[in-house]
Structure 1
Amino acid sequence: MTKALCLLCAGALALTAAGCSKSGASSSAASSEAVSVYGSASDYDYQNFAYSDGLDENGYWSGIKALDYVTLPEDYAAIPLKKADIEPTEEDIQSQIDSVLSQNTTTRQVTDRAAADGDTVNIDYAGTVDGVAFTGGTYSGYSLTLGSGSFIDGFEDQIVGHKPGETFDVNVTFPDGYSDSTDADGNAVVLSNKKAVFSVTLNYISEEILPELTDAWVEEHFGTSDDVHTVEGLRAEFRQMLYQNNLNTAVMDYLLANSTFKDELPKEITDYQVNQCLNYYYTMANHYGYDLDSFLQTAAGYDSADALLENMSDSITQYAREALLYQAVAEAMDIAPTQEQIDTYSSYTETYGANYCTMVALMDAVSDALTTGAQVA
């Protein structure tokens, strides 16, 4: 969706292979000792969260008048902004170009040289401790970037210098506190502080090939979908996109800084943000076969869901205020989304519900009104 009112707690999380990733170590970046101003995760029914909860058919928070909780600045309909703060730089535009090219890279398999630090290699590995194979210690076709620190200390270094087709031993020691594993019969295999031997086969080195930015390449990738046919046309498209994004951000930043909020925000809105945050991780945990706390410890560096909630408290408050601001402006200016704006999100209604999609369309309508009225000089 083009706008995300609700709290996005984290980017996509991925669990690396258990046999030799660092994630098995029982360390944690956030302590659960502190208590969130929003209480404990056990206070919330996040398992049953739905995106349209608490929203009416107009995309408003049900039963809540936002203007009862927020006082908008007098100039909210004609926000003063400096053009220099909104105009994208050439560096910004080039960054977008580089990102698009990167997304369209191709790869080739290199087999005629030794692996070097920074290379992405494809490997098979089979690990043993005291001669015993353990669960998670064997994998075929794993893609590993050497020097990334993804695997336990010393593993990646010992691949450097080997050529594709070679099979060799990698000798490492699991760190203190690393989680136990099991053997083929289900017996416990202690890994903490244990020396391990991994038989590694280097299959190939992956090299990325960045496409050359030419008019022909732009025509192929953007000519039909975006009616952009030249390199200069693509730069102009990105310039306009970045300008609009910067303008949207500047408008909301101004409103957040110059509006006055009641100390106690509507519980329905803060609860919504908490439930969405916890549900995001709960869904990920279920996907990987974890309970919530175990997943947070393994993949996100938190002792528990309560520790996550404490760490996210300020963001929850900020997003609740942002939610109020959009609706407050809609109330003050009598804004409703057009059918066209609502239809933009029709393909998402099955996943998010019609009321949530209408709310996002309402945000679009509010943003359009505010950016149109902004005084940029």
Structure 2
Amino acid sequence: MKKIITKAVCLLCAGALVLGAAGCSKSADSSSAASSTAAAVYGSAEDYDYENFSYSSGLDENGYWEGVKALDYVTLPENFASLTFKRSEIEPTEEEVQSEIDSLLSDHATEKQVTDRAAADGDTVNIDYAGSVDGVAFSGGTYSGYSLTLGSGTFIDGFEDQIVGHTPGETFDVTVTFPEGYSDSTDSEGNTVVLSGKKAVFSVTLNYISEKVLPELTDAWVAENYGESDDVHTVEELKALYQKMLYNTDLQNAIMDDLLANSTFKELPKEVTDYQVNQCLNYYYTMANYYGYDLDSFVQTAAGYENADDLLEGMSDSITTYSKEALLYQAVAETLDIVPTQEQIDTYSSYTGTYGENYCTMVALMDAVTDALTESAVVS
């Protein structure tokens, strides 16, 4: 229940589908790929230097957009510092609180290894596999102890289906075809092995089926896991904590929704929209490299878009929204002269190596703005 560095404005593409191991990633489904003939609102991917994107680029030491005065682009509503909401719109339901508790218990589940029944769709299985194309083993096609949820669509189409019905201890062949656009691999001697569009045979050993065992929610369990870190010792205290957390999240979301709906934007500075576009493309570019794809093939496989330009067109509304949110945070800070406290800055100190100091300061500034607007909001 500790803070993590997650802010909507900074995580535009965090919801992308993560693929499986390099040797047997999911294939593209061209029938589901979105198509777009219109030019993307934000241009083409080739217009951006997304390969060299860094999180702190374009931000100054105060967490502001470098060279940008937000109030030149956005006019805040007159009542932005004292927004009013109905409690019924903010208060979380019992079902929502219970859902969070269930998720918490799932995170603390232990693993039970099952070996006395056949694998079924939805099971998480532990497998070893070794793949070959035309009888030649290739780099990235062998793995031991991989945890795979059957039916998740993580691996190449047909791979997971062929595991269903087998029993732990069995070794069997799975035959699949690599998607078009899949990067070449190499054999043990460094020779090129073409995978794109090729049939591959994987020798698979099903080690065991993994079942989750949830802990029993008791006062003792709560005290053991959260008594020291969060000063929560009973089930009722845990539910009250989650109720408060959800309430605060709902209120923060309501505030931002209100500001987005009632602020006036003259235009969006290119510095901010370019940042959002580069971050989005860099996310997919990094994932594509990790799984052995080129960018266009990856966004088709992972996200159902025809190519990177189509991705930008499909996400143009999100890019615009997040750019507006970025301006709103800074506009409020400029108007109310808000700066993050040292404590807020220190919250993200461990992330500076990955994201840079300026980015972490921006997230701390967003915390400070959020806290100010939340404290001044009226809920009745």
Shared fold per TM-score greater than 0.5? yes
Aligned position for 1:326: 329
User: Is the alpha carbon distance of 1:354 and 1:123 closer, same or farther for their aligned partners in structure 2, counting shifts above 3 Å?
Assistant: closer
| Stretches of structure 2 lacking an aligned partner (at least 5 in a row) | none
Contact 2:338–2:368 at 8 Å: present in 1 too?
A: yes
Aligned position for 1:230: 234
1:143 Cα deviation after fit: 2.7
1:42 Cα deviation after fit: 1.7
Contact 1:107–1:208 at 8 Å: present in 2 too?
A: yes
Q: Distance between the aligned counterparts of 1:290 and 1:134, measured in 2? A: 19
Contact 2:27–2:157 at 8 Å: present in 1 too?
A: no
Larger radius of gyration: 1
| 1:62-141 superposed matches below 5 A | 62-126=66-130, 132-133=135-136, 135=138, 139-141=143-145
Q: Distance between the aligned counterparts of 1:51 and 1:128, measured in 2? A: 39
Aligned position for 1:16: 20
Q: Distance between the aligned counterparts of 1:164 and 1:65, measured in 2? A: 62
Contact 1:117–1:160 at 8 Å: present in 2 too?
A: yes
Q: Distance between the aligned counterparts of 1:116 and 1:104, measured in 2? A: 24
Q: Distance between the aligned counterparts of 2:48 and 2:229, measured in 1? A: 44
Q: Distance between the aligned counterparts of 1:303 and 1:255, measured in 2? A: 34
Q: Distance between the aligned counterparts of 1:179 and 1:326, measured in 2? A: 41
Aligned position for 2:353: 350
Contact 2:181–2:293 at 8 Å: present in 1 too?
A: no
Instruction: Give the TM-score of the pair, scaled to structure 1.
Output: 0.86
Aligned position for 1:213: 217
Q: Distance between the aligned counterparts of 2:196 and 2:311, measured in 1? A: 29
Aligned position for 2:342: 339
Q: Deviations over 1:204-248 (max 9, x none)?
A: 221111111111111111011111111111001111111111111
1:28 Cα deviation after fit: 6.2
Q: Which amino acid aligns with 1:362?
A: L
Aligned position for 1:304: 307
Q: Secondary structure at the match of 1:37?
A: coil
1:121 Cα deviation after fit: 2.2
1:75 Cα deviation after fit: 1.1
Q: Distance between the aligned counterparts of 1:54 and 1:183, measured in 2? A: 40
Q: Deviations over 1:117-165 (max 9, x none)?
A: 3322223345667x73554665443333334454566654554444322
Q: Distance between the aligned counterparts of 2:7 and 2:179, measured in 1? A: 44
Which one of 287, 291, 295 corresponds to residue 290 of structure 2?
287
Q: Which amino acid aligns with 1:373?
A: S
User: Is the alpha carbon distance of 1:202 and 1:289 closer, same or farther for their aligned partners in structure 2, counting shifts above 3 Å?
Assistant: closer
Contact 1:18–1:24 at 8 Å: present in 2 too?
A: no
Count of residues paired in the alignment: 372
1:310 Cα deviation after fit: 1.5
Q: Distance between the aligned counterparts of 1:44 and 1:178, measured in 2? A: 22
Q: Deviations over 1:161-203 (max 9, x none)?
A: 4432233455x564996969789565657866x6x76544322
Q: Distance between the aligned counterparts of 2:205 and 2:219, measured in 1? A: 42
Contact 1:8–1:277 at 8 Å: present in 2 too?
A: yes
User: Is the alpha carbon distance of 1:258 and 1:357 closer, same or farther for their aligned partners in structure 2, counting shifts above 3 Å?
Assistant: same
Contact 1:26–1:179 at 8 Å: present in 2 too?
A: no
Confirm or deny that 1:316 pairs with 2:334: no
User: Is the alpha carbon distance of 1:355 and 1:213 closer, same or farther for their aligned partners in structure 2, counting shifts above 3 Å?
Assistant: same
Contact 1:36–1:306 at 8 Å: present in 2 too?
A: yes
Name which of structure 1's ranges 291-300 and 70-79 shifts more when overlaid on structure 2: 291-300
Name which of structure 1's ranges 86-95 and 295-304 shifts more when overlaid on structure 2: 295-304
Contact 1:134–1:182 at 8 Å: present in 2 too?
A: no
Name which of structure 1's ranges 89-98 and 350-359 shifts more when overlaid on structure 2: 350-359
User: Is the alpha carbon distance of 1:26 and 1:230 closer, same or farther for their aligned partners in structure 2, counting shifts above 3 Å?
Assistant: same
Q: Which amino acid aligns with 1:99?
A: S
Q: Distance between the aligned counterparts of 1:72 and 1:105, measured in 2? A: 46
Contact 1:30–1:303 at 8 Å: present in 2 too?
A: yes
| 1:36-51 superposed matches below 5 A | 36-51=40-55
Q: Deviations over 1:276-329 (max 9, x none)?
A: 112222223333444433433443333332222222211111111111111111
Q: Which amino acid aligns with 2:237?
A: G
Q: Which amino acid aligns with 1:209?
A: V
Contact 1:25–1:175 at 8 Å: present in 2 too?
A: no
Instruction: Give the TM-score of the pair, scaled to structure 2.
Output: 0.86
User: Is the alpha carbon distance of 1:133 and 1:351 closer, same or farther for their aligned partners in structure 2, counting shifts above 3 Å?
Assistant: closer
Q: Distance between the aligned counterparts of 1:16 and 1:252, measured in 2? A: 36
Which one of 348, 365, 369 corresponds to residue 362 of structure 1?
365
Q: Which amino acid aligns with 2:328?
A: L
Q: Deviations over 1:312-349 (max 9, x none)?
A: 21111111111111111112222222222222222222
Contact 2:115–2:167 at 8 Å: present in 1 too?
A: yes
Aligned position for 1:371: 374
Aligned position for 1:144: 148
Q: Which amino acid aligns with 2:320?
A: T
Contact 1:167–1:200 at 8 Å: present in 2 too?
A: yes
Name which of structure 1's ranges 267-276 and 141-150 shifts more when overlaid on structure 2: 141-150
Contact 2:28–2:297 at 8 Å: present in 1 too?
A: no
Q: Distance between the aligned counterparts of 1:345 and 1:189, measured in 2? A: 42
RMSD: 3.0
Contact 1:7–1:315 at 8 Å: present in 2 too?
A: no
